[in-house]
Copies of this chain bind each other. A is one copy, B any other.
């Protein structure tokens, strides 16, 4: 793997997990020395992170990790809802033609399973893996490179926000039911239902995150412990 890739992944991971919190200033030489590589691959990594919007140039002083506000999170979800509803719409339309019904049926069956098992802490990781599989299946069924690229552009920002909220058991059971509805709509080929169910799920997710933020008295640092994911 290239040094620039390693630097990019590491810096991004540190930002996403709040080890380098918003407002932190990064300089080229400083990071080059810390990571034990030269400025060239660091510049490459910086430019990718800047293009993603995780860093913004600070005139003559290096790059700053983007701030995160309540409004920013709302804006993020506003775009996310538009994009993922569209993706769900397309997926529902294409699932049959792409012979992906089986894949969604499998996910559906496993979701039914996890709805009962979710209270067991051990199952949490598997549950998040299942949601990741659903996301991947949706991506595959969306078949629109531009839409996918826009969603992927948003993902790192969402990952950073996710660190702020802790999913409790109640919310997880609810989310599982919402996912079930989405999957069922896609299997049925009902595009508008898929879009609406996605909207419902995302708006409830947003509310859950905002509740966590407000309960913590604003955005300061991520929640600690195994609950966050």
Contacts and interface: CB of A to CB of B under 8 A. Distances in A.
A153 interface: yes
A214 to B, nearest CB: 21
A2 B186 CA distance: 49
Contact of A51 (B48, B79, B90, B157): B48
Contacts of A44: 43, 47
A48 B43 CA distance: 12
Nearest to A157: B146
A149 interface: yes
A196 to B, nearest CB: 15
A4 B175 CA distance: 47
Contact of A146 (B144, B147, B154): B154
A150 interface: yes
Nearest to A4: B47
Interface residues of A, number: 24
Contacts of A72: 145
Number of copies: 2
Nearest to A90: B78
A53 interface: yes
Of A44, A76, A147, A150, which is in contact with the most chain B CB atoms at under 10 Å from its CB? Answer: A150
A96 to B, nearest CB: 19
A147 B72 CA distance: 11
A131 interface: no
A145 B75 contact: yes
A43 to B, nearest CB: 8
A72 B148 CA distance: 13
Contact of A82 (B51, B53, B82): B82
* A-B interface, 10 closest residue pairs, ranked by CB to CB distance from nearest: A51-B51, A79-B146, A75-B144, A82-B86, A150-B150, A79-B147, A75-B146, A82-B82, A76-B146, A47-B47
